[in-house]
Structure 1
Amino acid sequence: MSLTPPLRWQAVSAPSRDTLQGRSVRLEGLNPARHGDGLWQALQGPDSDPLLWDYMSYGPFNERAAFDAWLTRNAASQDPLFFAVVEQSSGQVQGVLSYLSIAVEHGSIEIGHVCFGHVMQRSVQATEVIYLLAKHAFNNGYRRLEWKCNNDNARSKRAAERFGFSYEGLFRQHRVFKDRNRDTAWYSIIDSEWPALAAGYERWLALDNFDAKGQQKMRLEQLRG
Structure 2
Amino acid sequence: MASAPLLHWQPAKAPSRHALSGKRVRLEPLDPGRHGDHLWQALHGPEADPRLWDYMAFGPFASRPAFDAWLQGNQASEDPLYFTVIDLASGRAQGLLSFLNIVPTHGRIEVGNICFGRTLQRSAQATETLHLFAGYAFELGYRRLEWKCDAQNIRSRQAAERFGFAYEGLFRQHMVIKQRNRDTAWYALLDGDWPAIGLACQRWLAPDNFDAEGRQRRRLAELRRRDPAE
TM-score range, shorter chain: over 0.9
Runs of 4+ in 1 over 4 A off after TM superposition: none
- Asked if 1 retains the 8 angstrom alpha-carbon contact of 2:14 and 2:140, the reply is no
User: Who is 2:152 aligned against?
Assistant: 152
Superposition TM-score, scaled by structure 1 size: 0.99
Identity, % of aligned pairs? 60
Paired with 1:4 and 1:11, the residues of 2 have a C-alpha distance of 18
Aligned runs of 1:41-80 on 2, under 5 Å?
41-80=41-80
- Partners of 1:150 and 1:135 in 2: how far apart? 25
Residue 223 of structure 1 corresponds to which residue in structure 2?
223
Match of 1:172 in 2: 172
Q: Which residue does 1:39 correspond to in 2?
A: 39
Aligned partner of 1:86 in structure 2 is 86
Cα RMSD between the aligned structures?
0.6
Corresponding residue for residue 116 of structure 2: 116
Looking at structure 2, the residues matched to 66 and 203 of structure 1 have their Cα atoms a distance apart, in angstroms, of: 41
Question: What are the Cα deviations for residues 60-98 of structure 1, in whole angstroms up to 9, with x where unaligned?
Answer: 012001000000010100000000000112211100010
Aligned to 1:107: 107
Q: Distance in 2 between matches of 1:111 and 1:104?
A: 14
The residue number in structure 2 matching 1:138 is 138
Aligned residue identity for 1:174: H
Give structure 2 stretches of 5+ with no counterpart. Answer: 226-230
Matches of 1:133 and 1:190 in 2, distance apart?
Answer: 14
Aligned match of 2:208: 208
Q: Does 2:18 match 1:8?
A: no
Deviation for aligned residue 1:12: 1.2
Matches within 5 A, 1:19-38: 19-38=19-38
* In 1, Cα distance between equivalents of 2:9 and 2:79: 22
Indicate the SS of the match to 1:4: coil
**Are the counterparts in 1 of residues 168 and 186 from structure 2 also a CA contact under 8 Å?**
yes
Deviation at 1:10, TM superposition (A): 1.2
Aligned to 1:128: 128
Return the alpha-carbon distance in structure 1 between the equivalents of residues 25 and 224 of structure 2. 21
